[in-house]
Structure 1
Amino acid sequence: MAWFDREFIAVPEARKNQLVYKWPDVNIRRYSRAVVNADEMALFVKTGRVVATMGPGRHRVDADELPVLGALVDSVTGGNFYRAELYFVSTREFPGVKFGGRLADIVDPASEQVVTLRAFGEFALSVREPEQLITALAGTTDLTDPAAVRNWCSELLLKSMKVTITQGISGGEWPVLGLPAHLHVIESAVLRQTNTTLYEYGLRIPRMGNFDITLAPEDADRLKRLAKDKTYIRLTGDFQRYAAGELALDAGHGLANGTGGGGGFLGAALGLNAIQQHTAAPPVPTQPAATPTCPSCRTANPEGGRFCSHCGENLESHEPQHCTACGHQLAALAKFCSACGIATGR
């Protein structure tokens, strides 16, 4: 029987970029010629089980060449057709698969602030075991949809990255600020966890590329401001001095822009401190210590002295004198009372 009278089965040119291609007809004519490219593997599946495989090359679909096809003969057609699903699985690497989205809300151990992490990038996908891929995903994912498997792997990668990043940051292994510096280590950890899950599906992600983990813009600004505040306070050694300088700069920017300076956290802290200072009890004034005066020569002596430093008179032997009229204490050698003006008789 001439070859050109028979059907040729192959992946159409427009579908060669697919990871999996399913031949649309489950009735495969006997003696059809299947063309399997160098980077493909063809699999006959019946009742969810792979019954035959064809490697790269040109194959005649016949039980004489593939004896296992004898179980697929459709007796209703007189043995002219085999009844089975035929899948073409690409064994080459598919780069540039996109992924991205929100990872998680996590507490930054350094600043104790809750921040939101996002990840975006791409990865390469390849088939590790074609038979395992078909049997594991045939009932889970629509293999006829070119994007179904890729989207499923993207979601799985993002989930693995979420777990890995959360554990690494919470354990103090990686900082939130400066996380891109650890992308190489993060990539290895994420691929290890992702490929452990993909192993049972016959898939693997050999590498990632052009991916990044970022903070929400408002979270990034907030952490940078806190880091700057902590550094300057440590350098100045005084929160009040640093805060006053920040308020002065803020006020200057506000005047330049025609708006008032918003103090924010620092303004609130300084305002509270000012209230506390104004409401505090005023300090009690201290009276200057009295200096003893010698009653003989009227020389002022240092506090606590027992003898006059000028004439040697005993300062402790002279008790204070009082006015006989009003009882006011008289100054040493005073001739008149400073309170009532009566002569002291000295």
Structure 2
Amino acid sequence: MVLGFIKRGVKEMMIARPDEAKQFIIYKHPDETVPMYSQLTVDADEVGVFFRDGQVVGTLRAGRHTLDSSNIPFLSNLVDSFTGGNVFKAEVFFVSIREIPSVKFGGRIGSQEDPKTGMAVETMVHGDFSFRVVQPERLIVGLAGMAKVDNESFVGWFRDLFLKTIRDRIAELLVKQKWPLLDVTSGAYTEEIEEEVIKAVARHVESYGVQVIRIGNFVVSIKEEDERELKRLLKDAAYVRMAGGLGGYQQLAMGKAMMGAGEGMAKGGEGGGTAMAGAGMGMGFGMAQMMAQQQMMAQQQMAQQHGMPQAGYPQGTPQAPPGQPGVPQGAGPQVKCAACGAMTAPGKFCSECGKPLAPPAPAKKFCQNCGAEAVAGAKFCGGCGTPLR
């Protein structure tokens, strides 16, 4: 009687994806026991997949199919002999092959070091992507091995895989390319990142028969407070470069602070009147002048170390070494007395012992034509015969 009931009822059994499951990427028919001659309807945007014992037995494309082994040969491998050949056993999946748009994703990338400032910043990514199943058979086999053959498990698995791949690839790009984080978050490298991410994701999902088509609304972001801190550090770095280094920047910062203090004193005190204003402004300018003097002293010390003329001396003027006996610091040109050996100002007599100073040696003359040194008192060059001036 059971077999008779099956024979009478098989033509009335319909197998199809229900309306409430139309949006699913994968829909599994709830009954693995299917009567022969049942009517299977496959929509235009899906594929019917028959799966048994860990492998795909066959697939059916769009259309209405009568499940009969005489016109669908692979069904003969699924016949349950216990029922006399009237029932076959298999898992029947309906896999959508249309493009699935706007799948949301988002999460942490991790802490990344900004190459311009050296600051470690927590980065995040979010957006959406579109994909489609291009090989339903490979997808069912791959998911069955992970026990994720229902729609919810598949979507969760695929989103997690996509996000992990994006996170790893973006982190790698930021390290290798040394892109400034503010440029990345502003969208300057979005196109390059999207291309690299799609390639990386493709390598991970193609074995499952899935193709990522595009990525949209792709944004790499950081916290607002981190963005403000990065901008502040970059601004300070720009001041350092303009000031000629860290020392110059420190002087610039001190000057700004001191001038600010002077202005504050000039404005402060309701009863201070003009006297307080003058004192405040005077203090501000005084501090600025003090800094200018300190900078000049530093330049003079550097000039002495490198043998350069100090401020106040013309180029080429001889300077006495600091601390030499008998020579006052800051004095003009000096000559050595032949009698006592003291250094004294040029003149006829020594300022130390009063004895006559040796007359200065006559300046050497050179030929203006060939450059040869001329003999004292000569009127013509001994090298080329040119009249000497």
Q: TM-score, normalised by structure 2?
A: 0.64
Contact 1:97 1:150 in 2 (8 A): no
Quote the Cα distance in structure 2 between the aligned partners of 1:315 and 1:52.
120
Q: CA deviation at 1:152?
A: 1.5
The question of 1:93 aligning with 2:99 is answered: yes
Q: CA deviation at 1:97?
A: 0.7
Q: 1:175 aligns with which of 172, 180, 184?
A: 180
Contact 2:127 2:219 in 1 (8 A): yes
- Partner residue of 2:346? 305
- Partner residue of 2:73? 67
Contact 1:19 1:89 in 2 (8 A): yes
Q: CA deviation at 1:163?
A: 2.2
- Partner residue of 2:56? 50
Quote the Cα distance in structure 1 between the aligned partners of 2:127 and 2:260.
39
Contact 1:141 1:149 in 2 (8 A): no
Quote the Cα distance in structure 2 between the aligned partners of 1:123 and 1:249.
55
1:162-311 equivalent positions in 2, closer than 5 A? 162-172=167-177, 174-179=179-184, 180-237=187-244, 238-244=248-254, 247=257, 304-307=345-348
- Structure 2 stretches of 5 or more lacking a match? 1-6, 266-290, 295-300, 302-321, 333-343, 356-389
Q: CA deviation at 1:172?
A: 2.7
The alignment partner of 1:97 has SS state of strand
Matched residue type, 1:169: L
Matched residue type, 2:225: E
Quote the Cα distance in structure 2 between the aligned partners of 1:249 and 1:87.
78
The alignment partner of 1:110 has SS state of coil
Q: Sort the Cα spacing of 1:233 and 1:59 in 2 relative to 1 into closer, same or farther, 3 A.
A: same
Judging by fraction of residues, say which structure has more helix.
Answer: 2
Q: 2:32 aligns with which of 26, 29, 37?
A: 26
Contact 2:11 2:38 in 1 (8 A): no
The alignment partner of 1:38 has SS state of coil
RMSD: 3.3
Matched residue type, 2:89: R
Q: Sort the Cα spacing of 1:3 and 1:181 in 2 relative to 1 into closer, same or farther, 3 A.
A: farther
Matched residue type, 2:175: S
| Deviation string, structure 1 residues 110-167 (Cα, Å, up to 9, x no partner) | 22221211101111121021000001111214222x3322222222222222222222
The alignment partner of 2:112 has SS state of strand
Q: Sort the Cα spacing of 1:154 and 1:289 in 2 relative to 1 into closer, same or farther, 3 A.
A: closer
Q: CA deviation at 1:250?
A: 9.1
Quote the Cα distance in structure 1 between the aligned partners of 2:119 and 2:125.
19
Quote the Cα distance in structure 2 between the aligned partners of 1:41 and 1:155.
25
Quote the Cα distance in structure 2 between the aligned partners of 1:51 and 1:250.
83
Number of corresponding residues: 277
Matched residue type, 2:163: L
Q: CA deviation at 1:174?
A: 2.7
Quote the Cα distance in structure 2 between the aligned partners of 1:289 and 1:85.
104
- Structure 1 stretches of 5 or more lacking a match? 256-273, 278-282, 292-302, 309-313, 320-346
Q: CA deviation at 1:62?
A: 1.0
Matched residue type, 1:243: A
Quote the Cα distance in structure 1 between the aligned partners of 2:96 and 2:72.
21
| Superposed structure 1 runs of 4+ greater than 4 Å apart | 1-5, 245-252, 283-291, 314-317
- Partner residue of 2:41? 35
Q: TM-score, normalised by structure 1?
A: 0.71
Quote the Cα distance in structure 2 between the aligned partners of 1:203 and 1:221.
41
Contact 1:42 1:89 in 2 (8 A): yes
- Partner residue of 1:318? 354
The alignment partner of 2:179 has SS state of coil
Q: 1:149 aligns with which of 154, 157, 172?
A: 154
Contact 1:109 1:172 in 2 (8 A): no
Q: CA deviation at 1:65?
A: 1.7
Q: CA deviation at 1:89?
A: 0.4
Quote the Cα distance in structure 2 between the aligned partners of 1:249 and 1:62.
95
Q: CA deviation at 1:68?
A: 1.2
Matched residue type, 1:161: I
Q: Sort the Cα spacing of 1:230 and 1:47 in 2 relative to 1 into closer, same or farther, 3 A.
A: same
Quote the Cα distance in structure 2 between the aligned partners of 1:305 and 1:187.
81
Q: CA deviation at 1:244?
A: 2.9
Quote the Cα distance in structure 2 between the aligned partners of 1:4 and 1:127.
32
| Deviation string, structure 1 residues 154-210 (Cα, Å, up to 9, x no partner) | 222222222222222212353322112111110110110111110111112111101
The question of 1:103 aligning with 2:109 is answered: yes
Quote the Cα distance in structure 2 between the aligned partners of 1:241 and 1:106.
33
Q: CA deviation at 1:70?
A: 1.1
Matched residue type, 1:318: G
After the TM superposition, which of the residue ranges 190-199 and 168-177 deviates more from structure 2?
168-177
Contact 2:10 2:37 in 1 (8 A): no
Identify which of structures 1 and 2 has the higher relative contact order when contacts are C-alpha pairs closer than 8 Å and 6+ apart. 1
Quote the Cα distance in structure 2 between the aligned partners of 1:4 and 1:184.
56
